[in-house]
Structure 1
Amino acid sequence: MASVERTAYPRFKRTITSRELHEAFTPGPSEAAWARGKARSPEHVLALVVLLKSFQKLGYFPDLDEVPELVVGHVRGLLVLDEDVLPRHDSMRTAARQRDFVRERLGVEYDKENARKIASAAIYEAVQTKDNPADLINVALERLAKERLELPGYTTLDAMASEIRTEVNTGFFEMVVSRIDDVDTARILGLLRVVSGSRSRFDEMKRPAKAPSVSHLREHLAHLDRLELLGPTAKWLQGVPPGKVEHFAGQARVLDAAELGKVGVVKRTALLVCLLHMAKVRARDELVTMLCKRMSRIIKRGREDLEKIRERHRAETERLIAVLGEVLEAAKGAVGFDGESVTPLPTSEDRLHQVHQQCGEAVLEKLEKAGGLAKLSEDHELVSAHHGDNYMPLLWRHFKSHRKVLLDLTDVLQMVSTSADSTVLEAVEFCQAMRNRSAKWVPVTYTVTAEDGTKKDKTVSAEFASQMWQRILFDKHQAGRIHRRHFEVCTLSYLVQELRTGDVAVIGSESYANLQNQLMSWEECEPLVAEYCEQAGLPATSSAFTAALKQKLTAVAAKVDAGYPDNADLTIDQASGKIVLSPRRGKARRQSALDLEAEILKRLPEWSLLDVLARTAYWIQWWRHFGPASGSDPKIRDKLARYVLTVFTYGTNAGPAQVARHMGQKVSVHELSLAGNQHITSDKLNRASADVIDMFIQLDLAHVWGDVSKAGIDGSQYDTWENNLLAESHIRYGGFGGIAMRHISDTYVALFSHFIPCGVWEAVYLFEGLLKNESEVTVDIVHGDTQGQNLPVFGLAHMLGVELLPRIRNWKDLTFYRPSATVKYKHIDSLFGDPDKDVINWRLIENHWPDLMRVVLSIREGRLSSVALLRRLGNESKRNRIYQAYRELGRVIRTVVLLRYLSEPELRDSIQSMTNKTEAFHKFSNWLMFASDLLADNDPENQEKIIKFNELLANCLIFHTAVDITKVVNDLIDEGWEVDPVDLATITPYITSKIRRFGTWHLDMEPPDGQAVGHLRLAA
């Protein structure tokens, strides 16, 4: 069973706002006239109108007794009926006739059998990729709404979803188990066995990777090897959709060995296989990530060494020159050099050999005294690196301690090239073939053995390496050979680069999988293009898309150029090219705003943090999304209280142990940790935050429409007033991945405070979150930090129909791209780059328009991993046409944004304002994490959950404070205050002075054990 609260099944909310009352339950004149034409008595008229408005809201007919009195009273007042008139039917026949009237007016069909058939088909289709019963019911509801069918009862849909889900899942479980023999089954089930004094191997499968040290790399390689020995999970799971595998693995992951042991043996085996398979995938991802991190650190240390050498190069160079001088003096003495001439060498062969021997011994003696040949050679490489500005020779000393384990890692992982160029992987193959050689210089030819046992000679190429690498890889005195040590470092550094760009993929991985395998084909995308482009506001053909972009850039540039003489903030010195953008001063708050704020703060009530969570949970029911991974109802008492305490526990980062300790006997550590680990996921926290957002945007900021006149504000001014307060109240939605967003509509502006702190990484997750946004808010403007100016990110934002407006600090260092090489500007030409190279390649955008569309459609359809896309868009690749297309599109969009930034003071003010509000939110949310601002858990998934717990906690407090502000403002209006909307817009909801984070403390001064206070008896 799935609770109705956890689904989208329409029902009356516990709290109905004035906005919702007016928008959803206000009958129009034609509806009132229609009802009076269909019914005679006032009771029947009221009942008919209530049924009509309820059906429009819910999609089915509720019992009249279930309709909230607030709705009935609202409708009664608008119909001008007496207070004692109640909606009722004299008979079942009258009720049925009125329902038919409503169906006829709304064009809705009442067909139980057809509705069940359509719902069943929708659930069968959805259950192939989804598993949560609430999600299956929501899919059926959406399909029924599209077909304009009256919704069946909730219990009907719940039973249907449960039956179909059980049938399909049982089929998958039995199919998987049938492929596993008895020996493998025993091995799989043995994972749950707990040996005395140790943990089960089941727990070992769930552990995350550690820091990429040598020992941790070896340990994780061994971990993957142990997982591989447990069985061919990919073969066993063939035919099970990836989404179902991931969900089944998620069910197993949140249980412990004892709990999973209680599950039926067939389902238990299948869940363990899914968990094992995903553990392998995760281990491969983690190994590649560890490789990337380790090579990055090696390169970083090489660069640091080069900087240190530059600091001390003079003394080192002088020392090496001194050694060279001593060697030369020794050689002179051996050959009889007197400073002007050399004594002729003896002609006899024995004497000549003796001289050479003496010379060699003298030279070696001096070299040994200077530190030895090996040390001097290494020092020579260091100084040579400095003089050549090349840190590559310095990498080996940091690489050699990791060499074996890194080569083992590349041998274990199966890697394939995603393009026709496989030279880097061939270089990896060469390194494996030469790994047991001890010589520095090795032949470039090597032998490989094919699967059929045949041997083949191959020659390795280093064409992929830069000129700096080439200088140290080859030597004219070592023809046909290559420096093995440097080549290993070079190969792995380029391998890491190609793994990040996606030019090399790892088989059996997720984060480093082949992007082309995840992208939808153009044949699949083409039917979806027109609808998507209409939704995103984009032209639906490549030529129209390119033409619109070109026209936009040309028009904006021309407008900025023409408006330059009137732009008092921008100054361009045509002679020197110096560009100055004068800063704008912020507007000081008026005294009336300060007085209003002081009065509001004085009247705001104090609340404890737990009270705030409990009140918002009761009003909004954001906790309804929480529950076991299986999707069934949680088997816990008082779910609301348990989930409120859990959000408090993790949102403040106090942890279950401390909260349970301070709550006495009311809750245990196990109860809190079980709810946090097994009932709540990042996705469920996103949904809970979406509920708070949806309620927030409906917040009433005046009594009702009719009461606004008390403040001397007409209806249009009400919109302005509400816009202003909502514009200052910010709620964070975790699904958006850390970003500031603004939605503008005709009636309100909702702001959500977030940032992109690190550029493309967060941006990619952000845009995936935008497409999966479950809030009613539509996002069309995104604000980010300075690092959010990555060119492909601008391109991706445009394709998603979102305007990216990051904070722009370093605009002088960014290139402005011209629409064509021939265009020149009278005033602003110096802003643009070189006309020979910094020009938009419109042909590239037009030719690769299908690739641009494939990416956004694949994300929308859930086919493309945001992490895999990150590999493409976050790292430049000459072979990556998707990166090139998005980078070129990003050049257009970023140039337009930069031009607007320089010419529109209001835009700069808006960006600065959003930046300030975002930073204020971060400070506010950090204040709530009072127990600790450090994330002790090493698991990235758990870290993400704690952050989103904190976001939900902050959202609830912001909403609750806005409610209190609304009440205070309404009271002030009733008392005759003249509340100016401009002043109201400056009131922030980030108020901490009225919140008790730690609850209420009680000091008991009763003497302990009957002793007087202050009297202690110390034991001897």
Structure 2
Amino acid sequence: MPSHIFGVLQGEFVKWHWNEDELAMHWSLSIEELALLPSRTDSGRLGFAILLKFFQFQGFFPGSQKGIPHEIAVYLALATNSAVADLKIYEWDGRTGQRHRKKILGFLGLRRPSGEDLQKLRTWLTAEVLALDVPFERLQELAVEWFARQSLAPLDPSPLERLLRSATHAFEAELFQSIANLLSAETKTSIDKLLTVEEPNVNDENGAIENASIVKDGALGLSHLKSDAGRIGLDSVLQELAKLGRIRKLALPSKALAVLPIKWLQKYRRRVGTESSWELRRHPPEIRYALAAAYCWQREHEIIDALIDLLILVIHKIGVRAENKVEQELLNDLRRVRGKTNVLFKLAEAAIDEPDGIVKDVLYPVVGLETLKDLVKEFKASGPAYTKVVHTVIRSSYSNHYRRMLPQILDALEFRSNNTAHRPVIEALGLLKTYRDSTQQYFSAEDVVPIEGIVKGKWRDIVVEKDKNDKERVNRINYEICVLQALRERLRSKEIWVVGAERFRNPDEDLPADFKTNRATYYEALKQPQDGKAFIDGLKKTMTDALCMLNKGMPKNPRVKILDRGKNRICITPLDAQPDPENLKHLKAEIFERWSSTSLLDILKEADLRVGFTDLFQSSRQRETLDRDTLQRRLLLSLYALGTNAGLKRIAAAGHETTYQELRYVRHRFIQKSTLRAAISQVANATFAVRLPEIWGEGTTTCASDSKKFGSWDQNLMTEWHIRYGGRGVMIYWHVESKSVCIYSQLKRCSSSEVAAMIEGVLRHDTDIDVQKSYTDSHGQSEVGFAFCHLLGFDLLPRLKAVASQKLYLPETDSSGNYSNLTEILTRPIKWDLIHQQYDEMIKYATALRLGTAEAEAILRRFTRGNLQYPTYQALAELGKVLKTIFLCRYIDSEGLRREIHEGLNVVENWNSANGFIFYGKSGEVASNRLEDQELSVLSLHLLQLCLVYVNTLMIQRVLSEKPWCNRMKTADLRALSPLIYSHVNPYGRFDLDMSKRLPIETDFALVA
């Protein structure tokens, strides 16, 4: 069978516009194919040729002329010496068409599938494919691939769709029944009780309920389990513990559920999240129990993760509030003493001159009493006395309020560690659990109380006291505080993990379990040598060459100087501003003239009519009765409401013959995080596809990433106070390529790692762009970040704010003499043996990032400053020093590289500036405390802004297709050209949606020669 058959397997679909090269590549007839053409009629020859090439390309026969692009018909008409008009008399489904199809299948070595073949297909789908819950389009492709392997002609689209949907329905019915069979009678009774608890009143348009007060276990229903954790505090901890206890009372068979298809369980979790208890009760028993069990089993993991987050944040909050309180009290009456050295000299001199004198007569005349009092206060505010005062406040806060959470956390969570060095913390937790009901102030003398690794030196005298007999004893409350602080540090670095958690699970589960077996495959996938020595030799040579290049070029580099004193020794002259493009403002004015006051809603609609991204949105239910046209309209209105932050109520009130309840139904049943990401990828890829290289240049491999702060409600764990920007909010981390197409976005906390977010976006963007360079600012880079980026196969190129104080490492001991022009900024040599020892482990973690066995942030938790002793972290940091040195050499030496990075980051900053124009509703604040709603708002904003870029690309190309404008544009104009413009767009006013009205953009974008 020819290798080019079934082109659909490579993701190719018949598009409507083809250039000459594409037509020649995919639709040309070979000599053997030309010999097959019937000779009697022109229509027969042309129809036969279209049937043959269409089947080879698409995998099935067209049903009529409607599905044939005109350019293809013209091309094949010329090849067969026929006229396109001849197709009107061709019998597509008549005897001629059937005879031609049979001849084509015989030529290709295919036969029609029998009933037995179709049963084999169903068996194969059930055993190997359906468990993965792939999108239906991909399922069709896999089925066509199966037909090709069996030398069978695939079914036509309609029969194939019916067969696949029937097989999927049967698979799901069997899965429902198997889950229900796993549940005991007591578990089913508990689920029924869970679904009969009266639901609270819901005031939020997203259907959220607030954790305003603690609800006891018995009063918790499904709606309470759906709610996210509230703000940081004891009440939120107790509420999450109550939810966890309620789920565990169901006695779900966790081990049995864990081996079921995880994709389907996640699908059921999303489905239950959109249905009320009343709706779930209406399902047949096997469906009701299966959905509830799948939801609660996954919700248990999420609640444990939320509990750990709360525990970490509460422990931190206790200490910070105590320090702030003490500092405020001290600063209220503290006046810092200036010239303390001179004061102490005067006191010493006076004491030496009159050693037998009275203090009042000798010292007070030299240094006044008030000055001495200020010195004492200042010492108390910074010395051991200050530490004791802070601990006193912490103890008071903990013992009177927060201590109530400790027994319940110890009962609910099981802490473990894979490292014996952290065993004292686990033993200390066991000791606390033993004493949970005791009223003793001190531990018994017979108890072994771990001190090392738990109690810090500054707290030791407070924790370990002495009785009247001068015997040491450990104060329980003070010790508990130290144990919690040590536990927080170990949890953050995942040195201690929690049974049943997802993000805080056993860190060994984050790594590929089959790494030893498939070691060679994983090395090949990362394109790294298996021999650690070869890896190091390559790096050492690159590092040496980079240092030599910089050393040689320094005397000839007028824009860079190396200073011989001070902390900041690298002096780089700022970049000169480039001249403003001459014609861009005129181009923007032309676009404003032609498409002035274009509605942002019309732009969203136009993008969907061209790209069809709303087809990706499928119901979370088994069946859906909405027709596609109605659903498309409601989806566009809902996405616009979320993306602009205007809200569903305001959009529904605009008079679209669509009610708020209908929009809310679509929002809950159809709009999901995974689907929005797929729609974003589709629009991004469509933008890449329509771009003209003559205007935008060839395909790019660069991406810039940066974050932007958005205000948000603060009764949740995502919102944090931002140190740099002030105010409470969340961060959105964007990945934007060089021509303003954002390929990935993430909602993150203000304090979470931007390095992890940068890596996550490059690896998970799922668009056609192959990212080879990643531009970031200083917050998006670290030594560990440099190491992982190199292992994953792309370059990290940051714009370093503190470049002036950077140091360059040496490739060899005693090699500093080889770089005489860099002496002032050189430091120690690299520890290559450490990299060599941990090379395999570093590759293992890089493989985990590539495969996505865990989130990038969860993996990078192990490589933070709190875990400096971890050998793999030390090796990654050392590798990062090598790569950072290589980068700094290039960065300092090349003004072109500095400008390239600067221009890349300007693009993402321009993207950030447009966020406020689109996300204008509710003062641009993320108005929800539910994590899911926050993520949907961010992704809808991303989709809406991406549609603006897509339509603007078409508009710009339409203008530049005219010869006067084409000739007018200079190289500088094209270099600075961006499709992210919005002076011609009106996001406000009435929200009119007329599906029959199109934007006046022509479809032919070929440049005039």
TM-score normalised by the chain length of structure 2:
0.79
Which residue does the alignment assign to 1:188? Answer: 191
Which residue does the alignment assign to 1:95? Answer: 100
1:919-977 Cα offsets, whole Å, 9 max, x none, are: 21122122111212111211112201110011001111111111111111113x16774
CA distance in 1, matches of 2:967, 2:382: 78
Which residue does the alignment assign to 1:944? Answer: 935
- Shift, 1:794, TM fit: 2.5
Residue 165 of structure 1, aligned match among 168, 177, 192: 168
Which residue does the alignment assign to 2:647? Answer: 655
Residue 783 of structure 1 aligns to a residue in which SS?
strand
Residue 304 of structure 1, aligned match among 324, 329, 332: 324
Q: What code does the residue aligned with 1:584 have?
A: L
Q: CA contact under 8 A between 1:793 and 1:873: conserved in structure 2?
A: no
Which residue does the alignment assign to 2:180? Answer: 177
Alignment of 1:98-247 (within 5 A): 99-100=104-105, 103=108, 117=120, 120-121=123-124, 124-130=127-133, 133=136, 136-137=139-140, 139-140=142-143, 151-195=154-198, 201-234=221-254, 237=257, 239-247=259-267
Alignment of 1:834-913 (within 5 A): 834-835=827-828, 839-874=829-864, 876-878=866-868, 880-913=870-903
Q: Which has the larger radius of gyration?
A: 1
Q: What code does the residue aligned with 1:654 have?
A: A
Residue 270 of structure 1, aligned match among 286, 290, 297: 290
Which residue does the alignment assign to 1:996? Answer: 986
Matched, 1:782 2:781: no
Residue 917 of structure 1, aligned match among 893, 907, 925: 907
1:326-346 Cα offsets, whole Å, 9 max, x none, are: xxxxxxxxxxxxx99xxxxxx
Q: CA contact under 8 A between 1:623 and 1:640: conserved in structure 2?
A: yes
- Shift, 1:407, TM fit: 4.5
Distance 1:813 1:497, change over 3 A: farther
Residue 667 of structure 1 aligns to a residue in which SS?
coil
- Shift, 1:547, TM fit: 2.8
CA distance in 2, matches of 1:729, 1:859: 19
Which residue does the alignment assign to 2:665? Answer: 674
Q: What code does the residue aligned with 2:493 have?
A: T
CA distance in 2, matches of 1:491, 1:878: 20
Matched, 1:257 2:277: yes
Q: CA contact under 8 A between 2:425 and 2:487: conserved in structure 1?
A: yes
Residue 301 of structure 2, aligned match among 275, 281, 284: 281
Moved more, 719-728 or 545-554: 719-728
Q: What code does the residue aligned with 1:740 have?
A: H
1:383-441 Cα offsets, whole Å, 9 max, x none, are: 75356799656533443331222443234211111222311121222334445666765
- Shift, 1:603, TM fit: 3.3
Q: What code does the residue aligned with 2:429 have?
A: V
Q: What code does the residue aligned with 1:791 have?
A: E
- Shift, 1:228, TM fit: 1.9
Query: Unpaired segments of 5 or more residues in structure 1?
Result: 1-6, 318-338, 341-377, 447-457, 702-718, 1003-1020
Which residue does the alignment assign to 2:24? Answer: 26
Q: What code does the residue aligned with 2:696 have?
A: E
Which residue does the alignment assign to 1:429? Answer: 430
Matched, 1:979 2:978: no
Matched, 1:801 2:804: no
Which residue does the alignment assign to 2:809? Answer: 817
Q: What code does the residue aligned with 1:267 have?
A: I
- Shift, 1:144, TM fit: 6.5
CA distance in 1, matches of 2:487, 2:140: 46
Residue 753 of structure 2 aligns to a residue in which SS?
helix
1:600-633 Cα offsets, whole Å, 9 max, x none, are: 4433454212211111111100111111124655
Q: What code does the residue aligned with 1:510 have?
A: E
Q: What code does the residue aligned with 1:955 have?
A: L
1:161-189 Cα offsets, whole Å, 9 max, x none, are: 43443444334433332343333312202
Q: What code does the residue aligned with 1:871 have?
A: R
Q: What code does the residue aligned with 1:121 have?
A: W
- Shift, 1:209, TM fit: 0.4
Distance 1:742 1:141, change over 3 A: farther
Which residue does the alignment assign to 2:733? Answer: 738
1:522-554 Cα offsets, whole Å, 9 max, x none, are: x44643644x55554433443333333333222
Which residue does the alignment assign to 1:959? Answer: 950
CA distance in 2, matches of 1:914, 1:900: 17
CA distance in 2, matches of 1:756, 1:798: 25
Which residue does the alignment assign to 1:363? Answer: none
Distance 1:916 1:733, change over 3 A: closer
Query: Unpaired segments of 5 or more residues in structure 2?
Result: 1-7, 203-219, 338-357, 360-376, 709-730, 993-1009
Residue 723 of structure 1, aligned match among 697, 700, 712: 697
Q: CA contact under 8 A between 2:562 and 2:822: conserved in structure 1?
A: no
CA distance in 1, matches of 2:29, 2:437: 87
Matched, 1:550 2:540: yes
Q: What code does the residue aligned with 2:430 have?
A: E
CA distance in 2, matches of 1:219, 1:818: 55
- Shift, 1:227, TM fit: 2.3
**TM-align CA RMSD:** 4.2
CA distance in 2, matches of 1:543, 1:61: 56
Moved more, 477-486 or 305-314: 305-314
CA distance in 1, matches of 2:663, 2:308: 35
Q: What code does the residue aligned with 1:226 have?
A: R
CA distance in 1, matches of 2:151, 2:857: 38
Distance 1:873 1:247, change over 3 A: farther
- Shift, 1:863, TM fit: 3.2
Matched, 1:65 2:65: yes
Q: What code does the residue aligned with 1:25 have?
A: L
The count of corresponding residues between Structure 1 and Structure 2 is 894
- Shift, 1:492, TM fit: 0.8
Residue 976 of structure 2 aligns to a residue in which SS?
coil
Alignment of 1:405-444 (within 5 A): 405-421=405-421, 422-434=423-435, 442-443=443-444
- Shift, 1:987, TM fit: 3.0
Which residue does the alignment assign to 1:646? Answer: 638
Residue 620 of structure 1, aligned match among 611, 629, 634: 611
Moved more, 63-72 or 989-998: 63-72
Distance 1:27 1:228, change over 3 A: closer
CA distance in 1, matches of 2:324, 2:240: 29
CA distance in 2, matches of 1:690, 1:552: 36
1:899-923 Cα offsets, whole Å, 9 max, x none, are: 2222221221122112222121122
TM-score normalised by the chain length of structure 1:
0.78
Moved more, 772-781 or 197-206: 197-206
1:717-772 Cα offsets, whole Å, 9 max, x none, are: xx4533189999999999x97333548xxxx9977587999686354355445444
Distance 1:759 1:538, change over 3 A: farther
- Shift, 1:641, TM fit: 0.9
- Shift, 1:154, TM fit: 3.4
Residue 826 of structure 1, aligned match among 794, 797, 819: 819
Moved more, 307-316 or 406-415: 307-316
Q: CA contact under 8 A between 2:810 and 2:830: conserved in structure 1?
A: yes
Q: CA contact under 8 A between 1:737 and 1:762: conserved in structure 2?
A: no
Q: CA contact under 8 A between 2:543 and 2:886: conserved in structure 1?
A: yes
Distance 1:305 1:579, change over 3 A: farther
CA distance in 2, matches of 1:583, 1:227: 60
- Shift, 1:555, TM fit: 2.2
CA distance in 2, matches of 1:27, 1:724: 20
CA distance in 1, matches of 2:444, 2:290: 51
Q: What code does the residue aligned with 1:396 have?
A: R
CA distance in 2, matches of 1:148, 1:768: 41
CA distance in 1, matches of 2:746, 2:777: 6
1:334-374 Cα offsets, whole Å, 9 max, x none, are: xxxxx99xxxxxxxxxxxxxxxxxxxxxxxxxxxxxxxxxx
Which residue does the alignment assign to 1:930? Answer: 920
Moved more, 684-693 or 114-123: 114-123
